[in-house]
Amino acid sequence: SQELEQSPQSLIVQEGKNLTINCTSSKTLYGLYWYKQKYGEGLIFLMMLQKGGEEKSHEKITAKLDEKKQQSSLHITASQPSHAGIYLCGADPFSGNTGKLIFGQGTTLQVKP
């Protein structure tokens, strides 16, 4: 079965600094989702990548899917306290956008003012 490994597990950065979170899959990714979660709350959709080499940006957050479609990175530029939370990568293990996602264990981000 497919597994997702996120690194680092937790991250503390000073406000204004850049950071990167990685998500590595044991198998080819058919769809890779990035979500943000505040503790104990629902998941907020950030972006979804499907094609090898694809890159998407939203505000100060950029996500990339590598050419081999087995690794994705999430990069935050000039971090702010509002970026704090848990970042989760999720993958569709099947082709055809089934919506039956598997998730990594999450990366907890703290941003110090």
Partner 1 sequence: ETGVTQSPTHLIKTRGQQVTLRCSSQSGHNTVSWYQQALGQGPQFIFQYYREEENGRGNFPPRFSGLQFPNYSSELNVNALELDDSALYLCASSYAGGTEAFFGQGTRLTVV
- Which residues in this chain contact partner 1 in the complex, by CB under 8 A? 4, 31, 33, 35, 40-45, 48, 50, 88, 90, 96-106
Smallest gap from Cβ 74 to partner 1, in A, equals 15
Q: Give backbone dihedrals phi and psi of 89, rounded to 5 degrees, phi first.
A: -100, 140
Burial of 60 (0-12, 13-18, 19+ CB in 10 A): middle
Smallest gap from Cβ 14 to partner 1, in A, equals 25
Smallest gap from Cβ 83 to partner 1, in A, equals 19
